[in-house]
Amino acid sequence: MIPEVLVGAGEIISASAIVAGFGVTAIMFRIQRELYVYEVLKKKPLWLAWADYLVLTSVALAVFGGTVPLLAVPTIPRSIIGVAAAACVAALVLLAGYVPSILAHYRIELGARREGPHAKGEPLERWFVIGSLICATAAFILTLALRLARE
């Protein structure tokens, strides 16, 4: 028989910290690139891609949904651990969606046949972002339901 492995507060905090660390690094790289385009290449407008909002949302979920609730409460009820785990899973799904979304934004392989100037939300990029948000929401609900069903 395979033993049951419980994922607790420590593991959730670790995963959330990794998500937050990656997300902040990715956003800083994107901001640096946009500032280069603006200041050196003198191109306007200055914007973040739709894909970047997946990273920003994943960082917010990881920090405020996955880490803060676990650190703020002296005795952690299982329901709060469930919400934190669900937030962390949703944040990971959003980060997974970032990869095809940013590729579509830059038209690297995905959307490569599209010509003309880049838009704030490339059509294929929008589909990936919206799909990622739907999948992250579903993952949050499923994870929370499974966690609360164990109580």
Decide if pLDDT at 110 tops 80: no
Task: Quote the pLDDT of residue 151.
Answer: 60
What's the pTM? 0.88
Spell out the domain ranges in the chain: 9-149
DSSP for 87-124 reads: HHHHHHHHHHHHHHHHHHHHTSSTTTT--SS--SS-HH
Decide if pLDDT at 116 tops 90: no
**Between the CA of residue 78 and those of 2, 41, 59, 85, 130, what are the distances in Å?**
23, 52, 23, 10, 31
Q: How far apart are CA 10 and CA 150, in angstroms?
A: 19
Asked if residue 10 lies in contact with residue 76, where contact means CB atoms within 8 angstroms, the answer is no
Mean pLDDT of 88-104: 96
Task: Quote the pLDDT of residue 145.
Answer: 95
Task: Quote the pLDDT of residue 71.
Answer: 93
**Between the CA of residue 75 and those of 70, 80, 81, 125, what are the distances in Å?**
9, 10, 11, 42
Task: Quote the pLDDT of residue 68.
Answer: 95
